Amino acid sequence: MKNSLSAIFSCADLPGVPRAIELFCPFASRPWTKRDLEAIDYHSEAVPYLNVNGYVDFHANDPEDPRNWSRARTWYITAASIFVVLNGTIASSISAGCARSIAAEFQVSEVVANLSTTLFQLGYCAGPFVFAPFSEFYGRRWLLYGTYACYMAFNFLCAFAPSFGAHAFGRLMAGTFVSAPLTVTPGILADLWPPFDRDNSVALLAVAVWAGPSLGPVVSAFLDQERGWRWAFYFVLWLGALGGLAAVTIPETHPSTILAQKAQRHRDAKISGFENIRADAEANGPTLRQAYKTALLRPWVLLFDPISFLCCVYMAVVFTLQFMLFSIYPIVFEEIRGWTPAVALLPLLGAVVGPLLGAVIVVADTRRRKKAFDKSKHLEPEEHLVIAMVGGVGFAVTMFWFTWTGPYASIHWICPTLAGFFLSISLLLIFVAFLNYLVETYVQYAASIVAVNTVARSLGAASAPLYADIMFQAMSVQGGGSLIAGAATVLAVIPYVFFRRGRKIRDRSKYTTFTNGGQD
């Protein structure tokens, strides 16, 4: 019995991390402890636990099941994953605060220099199509390690580029490879947390998604002012090194991959009668070719489903505005109010702090929905849209607020700064609400619906730096800002329509597969 267990649970085969990393962060390196292994009861025999279909599965208290890991460990992996994402989101906009210096050194126009931000955002589009199928097929862990290493390598190219072409290529490839952690992290959170707790963890992820891009230009503007633009990219490298230390302590969390490893260990142990047992994913899962075919084709079919299409349009506008802010703030605070370039970006810190309060609102809304579910045992996905209705109105109101207070030097600077603070809260509420709504509405096609939504968001964000300066110089802050606020006013109707008519729209769609929003 003892020898069988030691063969099955050989330390070398545990889905943790290399031994060197165990020394760095022991409690993060494995999903369970030796005491946990000794407590496993396989009916007093070293017999694998099989489900009703005869495949290797987790038993009720299985320490290999990510949902059974300790609270401290789960939170550690959550925090480490989100910190890795924060690295990518800060890097996405780091060049916005030093575009002028990049243009001056490489003798290109400022519009061309803004391609540094645009190309990074275009790289994000690769994540759902290139890396998501790979993670579902081979697991999260090694994909995360490999792509993060490539991301760091291309950041070196960005920092030490001898020409703008080399810098631009480095930015494109860095954005491409960091899109893997951005794509994989929601999957990690889904592996670790049950539904309502997962919503709270997604709120923290949203803070990284929204705060990071607003923080990047502030950091780079001051580093550019004091040391030169390349120091902004040295900062990305240093921050990336810390992110790398966090990344390598993240173990495998994908249940299908863990079960496949578990089945392989049992086969290697050669237990009599179980020499050929398999996990469900091994026996019935798609081939890698099928996974990629689905990943490349299905999102475009889902795009034109009414709910998906309108949500993609709304999210594209929201992310376009976020990256437009990096053009609006210098006009308002540098050109109109006469601040220095670096100080003119300090009010963006309001958009860094705002998402934290937004996350608190999401947590409060999650508690509201959980109480409703506990009472009725059923919850429609439209319940997610309550905070989007608030955020939609807030988006329009705060955009008008910023537009008509920012360009007037006679109005105190705190007024547009507060507008940016509340604007960021509104945008986060819209993002979290629609993301959760789409996943629950298209639960069977969640990966595909997130993929097409990611592309819509990334295209909006990528395009903004190329025309935002020209737009606001031609139309003025009041005119350009009012145009965006007017579009936000029209789009604010969408969550109200879906909240009232969403179920009828879903009933007419052949792709929506919602069953019960309170259960996995």
pLDDT band at 284 (very low <50, low <70, confident <90, very high): confident
**Are residues 318 and 231 part of one domain?**
no
CA distance 282 to 260: 7
pLDDT over threshold 90, residue 226: yes
Average pLDDT over every residue of 291-304: 81
- Assigned domain for 376 exists: yes
Angle at 207 between CA 310 and CA 231, to 5 degrees: 115
Same domain, 90 and 226: yes
If one counts the domains in the chain, the total is 2
Name the domain boundary from 249, 266, 289.
Answer: 249
The domain in which residue 519 lies consists of 298-520
Last residue of a domain, one of 187, 215, 249: 249
Residue 118 has which token pair? 């645009």
CB hemisphere CA count around 400 (13 angstroms): 10
CB 406 within 8 A of CB 472: no
Residue pair 406/477 in contact by the 8 Å Cβ criterion: yes
Q: What's the burial of 297, exposed, middle or buried (CB within 10 Å: 0-12/13-18/19+)?
A: exposed
Residues 222-236 have a mean pLDDT of: 96
Structure tokens at 33: 């402890």
Answer yes or no: is 507 within a domain. yes
CB atoms under 10 Å from CB of 360, counted, come to 12
What is the spatial distance between Cα 145 and Cα 244, in angstroms, rounded to a whole number?
8
Are 240 and 304 in a shared domain? no
Q: Is the pLDDT of residue 252 over 80?
A: yes
User: Does one domain contain both 313 and 193?
Assistant: no
Q: What are phi and psi of 279, to 5 degrees?
A: -85, 160
Tell me what the mean pLDDT of segment 347-352 comes to: 93
92 lies in the same domain as 182: yes
Average pLDDT score over residue span 278-282: 78
Mean pLDDT of 384-390: 95
Q: What count of residues does the chain have?
A: 520
Distance CA 317, CA 488 (A): 8
pLDDT at 356: 94
| 260 assigned to some structural domain | no
Answer whether residue 250 shows pLDDT above 90.
yes
Is residue 151 domain-shared with residue 217, that is, in the same domain? Answer: yes
Tokens of 519: 């259960």
170 domain-assigned: yes
| C-beta separation of 241 from 350 below 8 A | no
Question: Which range is least confidently modeled, 72-86, 135-149, 190-204, 262-276?
Answer: 262-276
Cα separation, 382 vs 497, whole angstroms:
10
Please report whether residue 20 resides in a domain: no
Same domain, 392 and 489: yes
Residue 15 has pLDDT above 50, yes or no: no
Q: Tell me which residue of 456, 404, 399 sits closest to 425, measured CA to CA.
A: 399
Give the domain-ending residue among 234, 249, 264. Answer: 249
* Backbone CA torsion sign across 241, 460, 119, 179: positive
Distance separating alpha carbons of residues 91 and 120, to the nearest angstrom: 9
Look at residue 60 and tell me if it is in a domain.
no
Rounded Cα distance between 56 and 262, Å, is 8
Which pLDDT tens digit goes with each residue over 145-188? 999 999 999 999 999 999 999 999 999 999 999 999 988 898 89
Assigned domain for 42 exists: no
Query: Which range scores top for mean pLDDT: 21-30, 75-84, 121-130, 287-296?
Result: 75-84
CATH number at residue 108: 1.20.1250.20
Tell me: pLDDT of 437 over 70.
Answer: yes
pLDDT at residue 33 tops 60: no
* Cα(63)–Cα(457) distance, integer angstroms: 38
SS3 letters for 477-495? HHHHHHHHHHHHHHHCHHH
Q: What is the pLDDT of residues 469-511, one digit of tens each?
A: 889 989 999 999 999 999 999 999 999 999 998 888 888 887 8
Question: Which has the closest alpha carbon to 355: 86, 53, 77, 4?
Answer: 86
Reduced to 3 states (helix: H, G, I; strand: E, B; else coil), residue 46 is coil
Higher pLDDT, 465 or 116: 116
Q: Identify whether residues 229 and 307 lie together within a single domain.
A: no
What count of other Cβ atoms lies within 10 Å of the Cβ of residue 356? 16
Condensed to tens digits (0 to 9), the pLDDT of residues 120-145 reads 999 988 877 888 788 877 888 999 99
Instruction: State the pLDDT at residue 8.
Output: 41
Identify the DSSP state of 128: I
Residue 357 within a domain: yes
**pTM (two decimals):** 0.87
